[in-house]
Amino acid sequence: MALGKSSAVVIGSFPLGESDRVVTFYSREFGKIRGVARAARRVRSRFGSALELGTLGELVFFDTGRSELVRIDHFDITRPFNRVREDLERLARAAWIIECVARLTAERDRHVALFGLLVRALRALEGAVKPARVALAFGVRCIEALGHRPRLDACVECGRAYPFSRASLGAGGLVCETCVRAGADALPISPSAIDALDRLRSLAWDEALVRPIGRAEAELGGLLDTQVSRLMGHTPRSTKFLRELQRISPAPVDRAAAKRENMKNMTEASP
C-alpha cells in the first residue's frame, strides 16, 4: 500500500453510502485524483469543513493499487478561500475555473503549471480584481497549458496570413472569411479582441489581471466560454449558473439559497 502526499485543491465530491464521500482533488504531485473520505458526512467528522469545493490543503492518502479510488487519510486546510464563498459572483467564477480543471484533465496526469495557475486564480478571486477578469486570464492560460493554444497569426484552414477583412475563431484558431463554411462553429471575432487575446496570453499573470482591454473583455469572455464548451463537449454547468445570475441581476435574489444550490451542482457534477 503506497502512501501519497501532496498539496491539492478540492474540485468535486459526491455522497457514497450513508456516511462516506468520494472527493476529487487536483494535486500538485499527482494531478487529478479521486478518493474515499470515510465518515466525512457525519456530524463529528474529522474532516470538518476541509472538503468544501475550492479548499487548498495538504492531502495524505493511501493507494492500494486495486482501485481507481484512493483512501483519504487526512486533508489539512492551507487556505479555505472563504472570501470567495462570501460573494455570489466570485463563487460562480471560481466554480467555472474549477470545472475547467475537473473536466479538461485526465486522472493521474501531473501538471504542476496548471496546479499553480489554479491556486493563483483562486487567490486572485479574493482580491480587488474583477472576478470576470480573473476567470478570463485563467481560461486563456488553462487552454494553452493543456495544449489547445489557438493560432492567431494565420488562417488555420488555408494558411493565409492575418490580418484579413473578417476573422472568425474556430477550434484551432483564426479562420478567414473565405474558409468559413456554412454551419461551422467558428464565431466572428473583432480585431480588438484578437489583439487583446494575444496580449493577455503573453503578459505576466499580475499584468494580465489589470491591463485594460476595453470592450474586448466581454467579447473574449463569450468566445472563451465557447471554446471551453467545445473541449468539454457540453456547456459548463457553471456557465449556465452565471447566465442565470446575470439575467436576474440586479433583481433581488436569495444569495444564500443560490450559493447552496451552486455548490451542490458543482461538487456533484465533478468527475
CB atoms within 10 A of CB 215: 11
Tell me the C-alpha distance between 125 and 102, whole Å.
18
- The confidence score (pLDDT) of residue 120 equals 98
- The confidence score (pLDDT) of residue 172 equals 92
Q: How far is CA 238 from the centre of its chain?
A: 9
- 225 with 217: CB under 8 angstroms? no
Q: Which domains are seen in the chain, by residue range?
A: 1-80 (2.40.50.140), 82-149+190-271 (1.20.1440.120)
- 132 with 87: CB under 8 angstroms? no
Q: How far is CA 12 from the centre of its chain?
A: 12
Q: Consecutive 10-residue runs of the chain (271 residues): their mean pLDDT?
A: 93 94 97 95 88 96 89 95 92 96 95 98 97 97 95 96 94 93 82 96 96 94 94 91 79 49 52 53
- The confidence score (pLDDT) of residue 269 equals 47
- 133 with 224: CB under 8 angstroms? no
**Cell numbers at 224, concatenated:** 472563451
- The confidence score (pLDDT) of residue 38 equals 93
